[in-house]
Amino acid sequence: MNFWKKLAAVSLTAAMTFTISGCGGTSDSSKKDGASEAGESNSAAVPYDGDFTVGVNDVAEAMGAGWNLGNQLEASIGGMPDETAWSNPVVTQELISAVADAGFTSIRVPVSYLDKINDADGYTVDSAWLDRVEEVVQYCYQEGLYVIINMHGDGYYTVDHGWLLCADDNQDEICAKYEAVWKQIAERFSKYDEHLIFESMNEEFNNTYSDPDPTAYANINKYNQIFVDTVRATGDKNTHRWLLVPGWNTDINYTVGDYGFEMPTDANCTAGESRMMLSVHYYTPWDYCGTEELTGYLWGEYGGNLIKQYRFPKMARPNWGDEAYMDDLFQQLHDKFVVNHIPVVIGEYGAIDKSTAVADFGGQIQSNRAYFDGYVAGKAASLGMIPVYWDNGFNGVYGFGLFDRNTYEQTQPEIISTIIKAVAEKNPQVGMDVEIVYEVEKASEVHAYLGIQTEIYTFRNSYSDASYGASTEHFNTLIKWSEDDEIIDTGAAFTDATITGDGTYSVGVSGYDFSSDSTKLNMLFVSTDFKYYDKIKVSDVVLKCDDTEIPIANPIVMADDAGNMYIELVNIYNTDLAALDYTMPKNSFTIEFTLNNMDAVIG
């Protein structure tokens, strides 16, 4: 998935703390009874260096339902890959075991190389990084899973130090580097059996969302051919390994249509039959699947039924990209590739969590999401294709997550069970009967808190922040960093609000001369300890800088990274928020606001 599409969810995702019931639950795995520690043997484990092969007529059925280990080994900061860079924890055997126990039989492991490649030393890949990639692959073998590894973020124009850039002029250098890196990857895994699949690249295009540029597309075709030839030339099991290649931006239309895609030749394959696969992604319609707004939250026939039953606005369901649209595209893939012995992998698909769009109907919205995911998976399986769900590790608002990567628990058991059942039965309609119920325990009182960050990073973070929030000793301290990176208590005091119903409340901070070392704010907001509900109305927001009152016409009200209500007044990192005209005070900030419809959380 594109870097920005994935990372935009980081600031707003959260684990929902609702009690969930429904038709789903943890799916039984036919492989094993429980998770294993890394390195332990179990009945599911397969030797990586065995002689296992899987033929073209069996591979789709064998790979079954797939899951992406997204935002992990492809995560990076400043061009340096780091599996925890995008807020996920270190990948463990326990996580992979949980995914297998849920019923998934294939895992796609996106990998970035970027600055792990030493350009000055023949494009040598850091051996420790290859060790870590291999360790994660071994986790998958420990569960008897099929596993796909690729070259993921190296081709993004939006990632620092991306280099596999199909529209750049230095193609000779790019091709030489690409060949060198894949040679090292292939050699590292040459003894691995056909449970391991190589994917050449990910969402490769010129970063322009329009019809493909012919020259850039020709370069993508060239990369795919280099990939195939390089892997085959390394010998051993790589001479018959399954290889997976994409077209322009892994877009179905630009791959099946007459836009220039060419399937690479595979003359050196020793399998005696096809060992080439096609990679495409499916996030259609994007305004349902990925647009981070609490609109477009219903899809397809299921969504239409909700509109009729609960009188949701018709605009809640995008007017394109329904079941018929998907059916047609998937049929084109089948007719052009599957029937010609080229299996198709839907390498990414999914829809983000928009269950807070209508707070009292979060369960129904999630049920619709389960239907969508099940429809993609079931339709793909019915046509002999392999669906691989995109999980970026983030749960709650705008998240794709199905598992908690810290606890290994399923966060969306109904979605998981729908996907598994849809693939097993090859039936896209299995999600039509899913009903998820959200029950929210109301409180007698809830609370609001002022959050702030100055331009020199004197700050108080939000209530739910893991490092400096309410659960830490720093929450009631206006923190200032010393030159030695020590925390200094500025002596300022916070005034928080106890909310017992509809009314006007205020939060503030006082006792510090903010103008003494800063001329502006980076952030100013109100955080809370209660869930964001669309029906709660915020009005009459006024900022006081000392005694100067500034009415706030359009504050942004949304869910924070734990799903709690959040009122944003200043945020230099959010270009959607209008700039605020103010002068840094000598003593205090106060935010006054009025809340209505609080009976959603107070009772």
Q: At 361, give phi and psi (nearest 5°).
A: -125, 30
Question: d(Cα 501, Cα 507) in Å, to the nearest integer?
Answer: 16
User: How high is the pLDDT of residue 534?
Assistant: 72
> Is residue 40 flagged as an active site residue?
no
- pLDDT band at residue 293, thresholds of 50, 70 and 90? confident
Question: d(Cα 264, Cα 277) in Å, to the nearest integer?
Answer: 10
Identify which has the larger pLDDT, 281 or 41. 281
**Mean pLDDT in residue range 491-503:** 97
Check 203, 204, 414, 592 and give the catalytic one. 203
Question: d(Cα 538, Cα 533) in Å, to the nearest integer?
Answer: 11
Six token digits for residue 269: 């394959």
Specify the residue for token string 């955080």: 527
**C-alpha 312: how far from chain center:** 27
22 pLDDT exceeds 60? no
- pLDDT band at residue 43, thresholds of 50, 70 and 90? low
> Is residue 203 flagged as an active site residue?
yes
Question: d(Cα 568, Cα 556) in Å, to the nearest integer?
Answer: 5
- pLDDT band at residue 600, thresholds of 50, 70 and 90? confident
The per-residue pLDDT for range 389-445, each reduced to its tens digit, is: 999 999 988 999 999 999 999 999 999 999 999 999 999 999 999 999 887 778 999
User: How high is the pLDDT of residue 357?
Assistant: 81
What are the sequence ranges of the domains in the chain?
3-439, 446-600
* Residue 164 near residue 180, CB atoms below 8 Å: no
Looking at the chain, the whole-number percentage of residues with pLDDT higher than 70 is 93
Using the CB atoms, write b or e for 521-559: b if 16+ within 10 Å.
bbbbbbbbbbbbbbebebeebebbbbeeeeebeebbbbb
- pLDDT band at residue 242, thresholds of 50, 70 and 90? very high
114-128, 175-189, 461-475: range with lowest mean pLDDT: 461-475
**Mean pLDDT in residue range 8-18:** 30
Question: d(Cα 306, Cα 396) in Å, to the nearest integer?
Answer: 21
578 pLDDT exceeds 50? yes
Provide the total of helices (H) and of strands (E) in the chain, helices listed first.
Answer: 12, 27
The per-residue pLDDT for range 216-237, each reduced to its tens digit, is: 999 999 999 999 999 999 999 9
User: How high is the pLDDT of residue 6?
Assistant: 36
Question: What's the mean pLDDT when you consider all of the chain?
Answer: 91
The per-residue pLDDT for range 313-329, each reduced to its tens digit, is: 899 999 999 999 999 99
Six token digits for residue 157: 């124009």
**Mean pLDDT in residue range 513-521:** 94
User: How high is the pLDDT of residue 487?
Assistant: 83
3-439 CATH: 3.20.20.80
The per-residue pLDDT for range 335-357, each reduced to its tens digit, is: 999 999 999 999 999 999 998 88
9 pLDDT exceeds 60? no
Check 74, 194, 348, 592 and give the catalytic one. 348
* Residue 553 near residue 543, CB atoms below 8 Å: no
Question: d(Cα 51, Cα 192) in Å, to the nearest integer?
Answer: 9
Name the residue among 545, 565, 544 with its Cα closest to residue 556: 565
Q: Where are the beta strands (DSSP E) in 422-563?
A: 437-439, 446-454, 459-460, 479-481, 487-489, 493-495, 497-499, 503-510, 521-531, 537-545, 548-551, 556-559
User: How high is the pLDDT of residue 359?
Assistant: 67
Question: d(Cα 601, Cα 356) in Å, to the nearest integer?
Answer: 13
The per-residue pLDDT for range 52-108, each reduced to its tens digit, is: 999 999 999 999 999 999 999 999 999 999 999 998 999 999 999 999 999 999 999
